[in-house]
Amino acid sequence: MDKLINDFSFGLFFWQITLFILLLLLLRKYAWKPILNAVNDREEGIKNALAAAENAKKEMQNVTADSEKLLKEARTEREAMLKEAREIKDKWIADSKEQAKVEGDKMIKQAQATIESEKKAAVADIKNQVAELSIEIAEKVIKEQLSNKDRQLKLVDDMLGDIKLN
């Protein structure tokens, strides 16, 4: 260190300072500005990339939320469609049952009406046959009773006796 202090020269110091300042000015003009500009551009690029990544993240969240919303809406719509299909099926079954019941009742009423009309026809036929048989029997009885004169008189007397009593 003593040697440095003993060999110190102001002229050499002046030129070294001048060259150092000149070197700093040249570096500042030709090296530091481009280096600082490149660093600033890189910093700006990194900021832009981070902002783009953040935007992409937000967009992904929005897309995920939208897809979940669409999925939920699709599920809701599917449930509504299934419910509507079930209701239509139940209504169709109920309508079919009601129609079958109405048709069955109608057929039963027609059968009952047919049975009733056939019953009335059978009763009328039986009455006609009974009437015919009664008339035939009455004819035979009357012929037999009227063939004898004593019996005829007795029959007339009995009838007259019945009329007087009533």
Alpha carbon distance 59, 42 (integer Å): 25
Residue 146 lies inside a defined structural domain of this protein? no
CA distance between the termini of the chain: 181
Residue 32 lies inside a defined structural domain of this protein? yes
Residue 155 lies inside a defined structural domain of this protein? no
Nearest Cα to Cα of residue 64 among 52, 76, 72, 79: 72
Looking at the whole model, is its pTM more than 0.85? no
Q: What is the pLDDT of residues 88-113, one digit of tens each?
A: 999 999 999 999 999 999 999 999 99
Q: How many domains does the chain have?
A: 1
Residue 65 lies inside a defined structural domain of this protein? yes
Alpha carbon distance 48, 109 (integer Å): 89
Residue 134 lies inside a defined structural domain of this protein? no
Quote the domain boundaries for residue 95: 11-125
Quote the tokens at residue 28: 């500042």
Residue 4 lies inside a defined structural domain of this protein? no
pLDDT in tens, the chain (166 residues): 677 677 778 888 899 999 999 998 888 788 887 888 889 999 999 999 999 999 999 999 999 999 999 999 999 999 999 999 999 999 999 999 999 999 999 999 999 999 999 999 999 888 888 888 877 777 777 776 666 777 777 777 777 777 654 4
All residues at 6 or more sequence positions from 145 whose CB lies less than 8 Å from its CB, including other chains: 151, 152, 155
The alpha carbon of 153 is separated from its chain's Cα centroid by a whole number of angstroms, namely 96
Alpha carbon distance 152, 39 (integer Å): 158
Residue 159 lies inside a defined structural domain of this protein? no
Residue 113 lies inside a defined structural domain of this protein? yes
